[in-house]
A and B are shown apart, each in its own frame.
Chain A
Amino acid sequence: MTTFPLEPARRLSPVTGLRNSLTLTWRSVLKIRTNPEDMFGLLLQPIMYLVLFTYVFGGQLAGSTHQYLEYSLPGIMVLSVTFATLGTGMMLSQDVATGVFDRFRALPIARSAPLAGAILGDNVRYLISIAVTLGFGFILGFRILTSPLAAIMACLLLVVFALAMCWVSALIGMLVKSAQAVQWWGFLVMFPLIFGSNILTDEAKMPGWLQAFVKVNPVTYLTEAERALLTGGPAATVVIRSLLWALGIFVVFAPLAVRAYRRRA
């Protein structure tokens, strides 16, 4: 039996801190499984996008739905995973609002563990999202035209990008008052980022000002990188640019999110 030691430990060891983070990662993953709405959204969202975009736009934009699917699926993966990063901020915000956060703070655990747990746990969400998009894409007729290795790299690149974007989500989660507000602010930030890009159509026919935005939008590079890795084309430049963007987002938003978090933790 464990009791509180008569002489409590004097400081928290890094090993304990890591254990704390892993325990709270387990908690995040468990919450995905036990929350039917969350699971439902995670599974259905990519399917919905695939069906709608492919059959609504497909014939118009690419001549055939199959051709359009090959074009749009990499972008829909980017879209689904980027929206999935909102989960981090929503979970943190919910923990603050419900008092779970205070319970963590009153426990002898690493201060960073709740944040680390939320971020690490969400990797599972990204993987689910990627798997569903690819899997349902296959059913609709999408085929990977490169190699399995390139496809794995495509998935990894998405996870890396999501791991950068989730800090934006975490920052929003620490700044606004409710999980619902996270969702709204998240949409306001992510919607233009996602749709002001080339995920659905080529930017050539867009007005000049929009083209300018599309050309600097990280989602554009990521989508091009995904297309190159899944359906072929020169990948090196766009992959590197995507990685640099991910690094840039991380370098700016992680410290801001950590600062906002520390103010409340």
Chain B
Amino acid sequence: MREELNAIEARGLVKRFGKTTALAGVDLTARAGSVLGLLGPNGAGKTTAVRILATLLRPDEGEARVCGYDVVRDAYQVRQLTGLTGQYASVDEGLSGTNNLVMIGRLLGMSRAESRARAAGLLARFELTDAAGRPAKTYSGGMRRRLDLAASLVGRPRVLYLDEPTTGLDPYSRNEVWAMIRELVTDGTAVLLTTQYLDEADQLAHDIVVIDQGRVIATGTPDELKAGAGRQVLEVTPASRADVAAVAAVLSALLNGEPVVSPESGRVTAQVDDGRQLPEIVRELDDRGIELAEFALRKASLDEVFLALTGHRAEETAPEETDVPAGRRQQKLSRSAQ
């Protein structure tokens, strides 16, 4: 039964470009009506994975199926079921918004009237009606991205690839794109979203696959990943800036990890392995007469999870070599997640 198939099912994808290995055996699964977040720094292999799934590249090894169709052997079928928006696939800047969408409608076999109606509907939905007749090159970045998204929806795809759809957008446009993605998923579309913004994955994705240097280093729901990193984060801000060093000293003495001091906010942050340590910390701070403005325990952010997993921040480009082999890190995570 086709309905029970996963929208995307990829096993052991390998892709090399000369000496560079962009993907070193990646597995991905996305259910219909869900968002799979593919998270990783620049150069991690996210775009390569999307290009393989969108039939733009052939994998060197492994296989991928979209709604049950093989991306290499059944590329024509896959193209009928998918839509692509991203850093690479783009709109024609010389054509108006309307004509961009009409062109795609016509290419997908719609009649002239049908594609005009579809274009008008999508432009209205993406708040582009006022600019419909203007060439796309006159659009702002946010408008262009919305037109791009509209273009990938002309054929009502069952699987939508969004390759960093909000990179370079202002917060307002970003929220708009997010709202549209949520709406699509409600309609049953499966979305593969690549992003280097952890809060984006946190906000939208039902499942997250973290890749780094072409390998999957963690999988799970956003909550599982945060819990899997094990630790919670304690944030303490003394009422007086003069006490910042003293707070850091207390946390350093009572907790395993080294606390991090933010000079701008006067906040001290430290990882907590065991919640039972908290009363002791409060007592110690009280004994020293330190007055507190903030004392909060929260889950590790995906940012911190990412740092813990990869050894570097999400915004940085992946380093050539890391001290811990990626495979071992993954084992570590799945153990702690159990």
Chain A interface residues toward B at CB < 8 A = 1-6, 8-12, 16, 19-20, 23-24, 26-27, 30-31, 34-35, 95, 98-100, 102-109, 113
Q: Is the CB of B80 within 8 A of A5?
A: yes
The answer to whether A98 and B93 touch (CB under 8 A), given A4-B158, A106-B55, A108-B79, is yes
Which residues of chain B (26-85) have a CB below 8 Å from chain A?
Answer: 54-56, 69, 76-77, 79-84
Q: How far is the CA of A10 from the CA of B79 in the complex (A)?
A: 11
Which of these, A2, A24, A27, A105, contacts B110 with CB under 8 Å? A2
| B residues less than 8 Å from A31 (CB atoms) | 92, 94-95
Q: Is the CB of B108 within 8 A of A108?
A: yes
Type the 1/0 row for B1-28, where 1 means its CB is closer than 8 Å to any CB of A. Answer: 0100000000000000000000000000
Q: How far is the CA of A71 from the CA of B315 in the complex (A)?
A: 66
| B residues less than 8 Å from A35 (CB atoms) | 94
Which of these, B2, B104, B114, B118, contacts A6 with CB under 8 Å? B2
| A residues less than 8 Å from B104 (CB atoms) | 103, 107
B280 to chain A, nearest CB (A): 57
- 24 interchain pairs, CB-CB under 8 A: A2-B110, A2-B156, A4-B81, A5-B80, A8-B76, A10-B76, A19-B109, A23-B107, A26-B103, A27-B99, A30-B95, A34-B94, A34-B96, A35-B94, A99-B87, A100-B92, A102-B90, A103-B151, A105-B55, A106-B83, A107-B104, A108-B79, A108-B80, A113-B107
Q: Is the CB of A23 within 8 A of B80?
A: no
**Of residues A5, A95, A99, which shows the largest number of chain B Cβ atoms within 10 Å of its Cβ?**
A99
Q: Is the CB of A106 within 8 A of B108?
A: no
A218 to chain B, nearest CB (A): 32
B214 contacts the other chain (Cβ, under 8 Å)? no
Q: How far is the CA of A10 from the CA of B77 in the complex (A)?
A: 6
B230 contacts the other chain (Cβ, under 8 Å)? no
B308 contacts the other chain (Cβ, under 8 Å)? no
The answer to whether A105 and B93 touch (CB under 8 A), given A4-B156, A19-B109, is no
Q: Is the CB of A106 within 8 A of B89?
A: yes
The answer to whether A106 and B79 touch (CB under 8 A), given A27-B103, A99-B88, A99-B89, is yes
The residue of chain B having its C-beta at the shortest distance from the C-beta of A91 within the complex is B94
| B residues less than 8 Å from A105 (CB atoms) | 55-56
B135 contacts the other chain (Cβ, under 8 Å)? yes
B60 to chain A, nearest CB (A): 17
Q: Is the CB of B90 within 8 A of A103?
A: yes
| B residues less than 8 Å from A19 (CB atoms) | 106, 109
| B residues less than 8 Å from A107 (CB atoms) | 79, 104, 107-108, 155
Count residues of B near A (Cβ-Cβ below 8 Å): 39
B97 contacts the other chain (Cβ, under 8 Å)? no
Q: How far is the CA of A33 from the CA of B106 in the complex (A)?
A: 20
B238 contacts the other chain (Cβ, under 8 Å)? no
| B residues less than 8 Å from A102 (CB atoms) | 56, 84, 88-90
Q: How far is the CA of A35 from the CA of B89 in the complex (A)?
A: 21
The residue of chain A having its C-beta at the shortest distance from the C-beta of B111 within the complex is A2
Q: How far is the CA of A106 from the CA of B87 in the complex (A)?
A: 14
Which residues of chain B (160-184) have a CB below 8 Å from chain A?
Answer: none
| A residues less than 8 Å from B228 (CB atoms) | none
- Going nearest first, the 5 A-B pairs with the smallest beta carbon separation are A99-B90, A8-B80, A108-B79, A103-B89, A8-B77
Q: Is the CB of B76 within 8 A of A12?
A: yes
| B residues less than 8 Å from A5 (CB atoms) | 80
Q: How far is the CA of A9 from the CA of B75 in the complex (A)?
A: 11
Q: Is the CB of B95 within 8 A of A27?
A: yes
The residue of chain A having its C-beta at the shortest distance from the C-beta of B156 within the complex is A3
| A residues less than 8 Å from B135 (CB atoms) | 34
The residue of chain B having its C-beta at the shortest distance from the C-beta of A95 within the complex is B92
**Of residues B55, B77, B135, B151, which shows the largest number of chain A Cβ atoms within 10 Å of its Cβ?**
B77
| B residues less than 8 Å from A34 (CB atoms) | 94-96, 135
Besides A2-B108, A103-B91, 18 other A-B contacts (C-beta < 8 A)? A2-B114, A2-B156, A4-B157, A8-B76, A9-B76, A23-B107, A34-B96, A95-B92, A100-B92, A102-B84, A103-B89, A103-B90, A106-B82, A106-B83, A107-B79, A107-B107, A108-B76, A113-B107
**Of residues B109, B151, B156, B157, which shows the largest number of chain A Cβ atoms within 10 Å of its Cβ?**
B109
A5 to chain B, nearest CB (A): 7
| A residues less than 8 Å from B155 (CB atoms) | 2-4, 107
B258 to chain A, nearest CB (A): 45
Q: Is the CB of B69 within 8 A of A8?
A: yes
| A residues less than 8 Å from B2 (CB atoms) | 6
| B residues less than 8 Å from A108 (CB atoms) | 76, 79-80, 108
A15 to chain B, nearest CB (A): 10
A168 to chain B, nearest CB (A): 23
Q: How far is the CA of A103 from the CA of B108 in the complex (A)?
A: 12
Which residues of chain B (98-120) have a CB below 8 Å from chain A?
Answer: 99, 103-104, 106-110, 114, 118
| B residues less than 8 Å from A99 (CB atoms) | 87-90
Q: Is the CB of A16 within 8 A of B90?
A: no
| B residues less than 8 Å from A103 (CB atoms) | 84, 89-91, 104, 151
B58 to chain A, nearest CB (A): 12
**Of residues A9, A20, A103, A104, which shows the largest number of chain B Cβ atoms within 10 Å of its Cβ?**
A103
